[in-house]
Amino acid sequence: DDVDRAYFAVFDGHGGVDAANYSATHLHVNVGLHEEIVKNPGEALKCSFQKTDEMFLFRAKREKLRSGTTGVSALIVGNKLHIAWLGDSQVMLVQQGKAVTLMEPHKPERE
């Protein structure tokens, strides 16, 4: 279609790099192939995070991998910004020199 899209992501491995590398390799593919990418990009991000997690868990069990990752991704569709994150990764948007809160970070004490 004629809609401009851009995707950015950062992953922070915990207990090794396997989960972070796997996510960096597969999440954007799952997002791009998701059936809701055009109509509901936020849903596509959410479902793709879940699918990538399930895929890695299957591989981790098979290969006895013990790492995890946090992650944050930004999908720009036209003039709209969609953010998804997992764990304690955070996103900050600076607009005209001022920080704009986009999310409430995960903290152990937060329900």
What's the rounded mean pLDDT across residues 25-36? Answer: 96
The CA distance from 65 to 42, in Å, is: 30
- Whether the pLDDT of residue 91 is over 90: the answer is no
Residue type for 2, please? D
pLDDT in tens, 72-90: 999 999 999 999 998 888 8
SS3 content of the chain, % helix, strand, coil (to 5): 35, 30, 35
Residue type for 64, please? K
- Whether the pLDDT of residue 109 is over 90: the answer is no
Please, is 48 exposed, middle or buried when counting C-beta atoms within 10 Å of its C-beta (0-12, 13-18, 19+)? buried
Ordered by where they begin, the domains of the chain are 5-101 (3.60.40.10)
